[in-house]
Amino acid sequence: MPDRTLMILGAAGQLGAALADAARETWAVRPFTRADLDIADATAVRAAIAATRPDAVVNAAAYNHVEACESDPAPAFAINCTAVAALGLACRDIGCHLVHFSTDYVFDGLSDRPYREDDPAHPINLYGLSKLAGEWALQLTGARACILRTCGLYGHHRSPSAKKNFVDQIIDQARAAAPLRVRADLTCTPTSAADLARATLQILDRGLTGTFHATNAGHCTWHEFATEILRLIGLPRDIEPLHPERATGKARRPKLSALDTSKLLRDTVALPPWKQALSAYLRVHQRMTNNRERPLCPP
């Protein structure tokens, strides 16, 4: 049995579950879902860490309802900032390594190139501000922490309260012959939760601290992303570019939110190109779909 203990918060979500899957061969994994542990309860979090005595904690729990934040930012700041500060203090006090995930939305999207870690942060919506506040709060705790900013995450797992990821939404809409309208003016880097989970384990093995950008390689518009999804599953459909003025929602979105990962590459942690990652995801997705549709007994 592995002699290192890894505590995962948010273990029912797409990233937390991917981390648990990837870590089981080399870590004794202690997964905590929201039902097990409310990250906003600082006393409960400290007690759980004290009882578990982990070598490392990975915080995959977050409030990421971007639109809801614009009307009611309190839950976002409670989970993405205040809870992160309390978690950092608890990890500092027992001396364990902490990995925390942040977002491309800490940037305003006005750059003409992918963002580096040392570029000034300037969020343009309240969700991004809550995540940036969490970064600052964690840094002030003095915890031995690594902050990983990522972008466009998708994975095979989904917590009960979460909506489907972008890939699955596009597939569902295409198969239902529903109209497809996707933003062509916003550039991101689609990132596989499985790839990010494997990179996180490498980061833990290397004991890295500080702030890093962690995404699959390359970037594209959301429209290009959707087009590639349908191409790979062999379901070509016309996708209408959604003009910004026709987009619904209160939250402003960064025009360019691709992240430069060269700093992480210098520590020999690399994620594959986004098209390669998407192809791998869709192969597994197809197997999972076939297994769900297979009858329990042969006719």
Domain ranges within the chain, ordered by starting residue: 5-293
Fold of 5-293: Rossmann fold (3.40.50)
Residues paired with 220 in a beta bridge = 188
Catalytic residue chosen out of the listed positions 63, 105, 115, 127 = 127
Does this model's pTM top 0.85? My answer is: yes
For residue 189, what are its two tokens?
A: 């880097």
At 292 the pLDDT is 64
- 127 in active site: yes
Of the candidates 160, 155, 105, 96, the residue with the CA atom closest to the CA atom of residue 134: 105
Of the candidates 212, 77, 189, 66, the residue with the CA atom closest to the CA atom of residue 132: 77
162 pLDDT tier (thresholds 50, 70, 90): confident
C-beta atoms surrounding 221 within 10 Å: 17
Position 293 pLDDT exceeds 60 = no
Distance CA 23, CA 201 (A): 7
291 pLDDT tier (thresholds 50, 70, 90): confident
